[in-house]
Structure 1
Amino acid sequence: MKQEHVEQLFQWIDNTATTISEDMNITYLESIAETMDVLFNGQPFDDMSENLQTYLTNELTKVKKDNHEKEEIRKAVQLAILKGMKGATQQQHLITPDSVAMFMGYLASRLFEGEEELKIFDPAAGSANLITSVMNQLDMPVNAYASEVDPTLIQLAVTNANLQKNKIEFFHQDSLAPFLMEPVDFVMGDLPVGYYPDDVQAAKYELKAEEGLSYAHHLFIEQGLNYTKEGGYMMFIVPNFLFESNQSKALNAYLREHAHIVGMLQLSDSLFKDEKHGKSILILQKKGKDTKAPKQALLVKLPSFKNPNGMADILSQMNAWFDEYKSR
């Protein structure tokens, strides 16, 4: 992967999206999705103004999408989306930090080492940055599914996956409603944190609150378990306070019954402006007749990703842990 390719493609997406945004009078984020659609299509769309079509036809001669690796495309798109989100204040319009996405890809590749193929699902896909990052790091055929309720984000996600040539089947729906989908080997995601507004839907979950609103992140974990095969894995980015909140007693009891806690890796505080927003990566295995809990769960506080020595040390410890875990 070449950094200059990422920067050139980002510049192209940025300039094109800015022009589309002004011409079509849409937000910059929406115009990124239009830009990626045009790039994937190889020509402008007929419903665009004549001036815009002429501009885009000219701009398309300056970029060759097939000359870019998947990761170059993903990173360039991610930079554009990050720029677009600076203006967006909505919490769900935040993107998983790249270092964390790459790290989750490493964890997934260790969990599923030696598998011939994999079915994965991200129920909180956003712009598909996390799921495509993980897919790009797995060296086996992957059937992927993803869900997102936000119309702008799912449009970005579809065009993002198309450009990277990653085959993902998308659901545009509330991710806590039922899916027409068979259980998968691996459910992963960066969970939305906060209260879930739909009491009627929440009532169908074991982890609904005794009174008042239920925590969305708890319901997502239960939903993840519903769509994981026996013996399959889940990996979620969760708030550090997950097991310390007023509803965590129910969550603890539920997980003890249905899953093995494989690991909890606390991300470095340096990733978060405020340590009360700190997050961890939770790894679970759904119980099955042949599954057993690890002798010792993988409990780690990760150093900053900018600290290569600290990271190398932790990775060698983790690799040793995985070797033992996989050989049981």
Structure 2
Amino acid sequence: MSTEYIQAAYDKVNQANLIMMQALDFSYTEAWHENLQNIANGVLQVIDGQPNPEIAQKIQALYDQVDWDKFSERERLQVLQLIFLEAERQDQLQANHQMTPAGIAMLLTYFASRLLQTRGQSKETPLKVFDPTVGTGNLLLMVQRGLEEGGYQVASVGYDNDDLLLAIADQSFKFLDRQAKFYYGDVLQNLLLEPVDLVVADLPVGYYPLDEQAKTFKANTMDQGTPHAYAHYLMIEQSLKYMQEGAWGIFLVPTQILQEDYSAQLVQAIAQTGYFQAFLNLPEGLFRQAKARKSVLMVQKQGGGAKQAENVLIGDIPDLKDQENMEKFIDSFSKWSQDVL
């Protein structure tokens, strides 16, 4: 299908969002959730007479102009991604609520696939994948798609404390006919979660406000002088608690995280039950500002034959459009993953 059809579908959904937004006094993101739910379920929901018949007719007319049955899953996903980029623009969403870009999600999918393959992960039993801060679900969705295309039977679980973003993730998976379980709540509390084979997360950056709970973590930095503990530190430690022996955690973190005054606290917390295996800086060109740059942190749970890499992989990922250097990087990563495992 040509890009014109994808753009046309985006335009119709965007119009429906703008109409819903104005009629119900919603944010763009709220309107998008309402329309996505309607599209995924195949029926326009009316509650207490809202939207009114005139508005409902206009929105339904827009729905009827898109034949989703003619769209592949990848094309549907592209429309979802375009709409959420518009939501970021319309609602000026804070950085912690923004979608993980598709290019970065694809790169993390490659890392996950390569590490699982080298580890000898079985394709005969369900592969448990966990995103502790799932948001709208784009990262988890792309990782799950990539792994399932590689022959894995993926059982995904996502947590988030933002009910609207979580609802969008749930409906996005439904729209694409993918299965996952989503839970609303504080992921830093005790979880009813079986040990997982893989963790992927685009970690939110900021303070965790519940000081008493933070004190139960080794990565708590309050005794070092911070007003509260760093949420992203705690989430890495929490993820390790729920990983199988030998399982991998792949996290997007601020590039400057290892230069922070309290980074030793994080490294020590990882070392309690895991191994700090790799830290790779994403290309600068992917970020509008240098301070917004992110890196890929890879940790591995102790046990199950895992060992500390003799050479922790630290470096820069080349420009994703630089085919020659990307091929060299992938070859280097492949060799390193074989050595570490």
TM-score by length of 2: 0.90
**Distance in 2, Cα, partners of 1:324 & 1:63:** 50
Residue 125 (structure 1) aligns with: 134
Instruction: Indicate the residue corresponding to 1:235 in structure 2.
Output: 250
d(CA) in 2 for partners of 1:168, 1:2: 30
Inter-partner Cα distance in structure 2 for 1:161 and 1:95:
15
Aligned-partner SS, 1:236: strand
Q: Does 1:159 align with 2:159?
A: no
CA contact (8 A) 1:122 1:146 kept: yes
2:250/2:298 contact within 8 Å kept: yes
| Mapped pair 1:27 → 2:27 | yes
After superposition, the Cα gap between the structure-2 partners of 1:226 and 1:309, relative to the gap in structure 1 and judged at 3 Å, is same
Q: Could you give the per-residue CA deviations for residues 146-200 of structure 1, whole angstroms, max 9, x where no partner exists?
A: 0111122112111111111121111111222222111111111000112112212
The sequence identity of aligned pairs, in percent, is: 28
> What is the rounded CA distance, in whole Å, between the counterparts of 1:255 and 1:118 in structure 2?
23
Q: Within 1, Cα distance between the matches of 2:52 and 2:197?
A: 46
TM-score (norm 1): 0.93
- The aligned residue for residue 50 of structure 1 is 53
**Deviation of residue 304 (structure 1)?**
1.7
2:282 aligned residue: 267
Which shifted more, 88-97 or 131-140?
A: 88-97
Quote the RMSD (CA, aligned, Å). Answer: 1.8
- Structure 1 residues 231 and 5, CA gap change in structure 2 (3 angstroms): farther
Question: Is 1:85 matched up with 2:88?
Answer: yes
* Range with bigger deviation, 104-113 or 70-79: 70-79
Matched, 1:255 2:270: yes
- 1:295 partner amino acid: E
Is 2:254–2:294's contact at 8 Å kept on the other side of the alignment? yes
Aligned twin of 1:62: 65
Identify unmatched segments of 5+ residues in structure 1: none
In the alignment, which residue of structure 1 is the partner of 2:190?
178
How far 1:308 sits from its partner (Å)? 2.4
Q: Where does the alignment leave 5 or more consecutive residues of structure 2 unmatched?
A: none
CA distance in 1, matches of 2:321, 2:266: 34
Residue 46 of structure 1 and its aligned partner are, at CA, apart by: 3.0
- Paired position in structure 2 for 1:73: 76
Secondary structure at the aligned position of 2:201 is classed as: strand
**1:269–1:278 CA contact under 8 A, matched in 2:** yes
Paired residues of 2:308 and 2:340 also in contact (CA < 8 A): no
Does the 8 Å CA contact 2:13/2:62 hold for their aligned counterparts?
A: no
Conservation of the 8 A alpha-carbon contact between 1:13 and 1:77: no
Matched, 1:191 2:241: no
Return the offset for 1:218: 0.4
For residues 224 and 103 of structure 1, the distance between their equivalents in structure 2, rounded to whole angstroms, comes to: 20
Deviation for aligned residue 1:254: 2.1
Aligned residues: 326
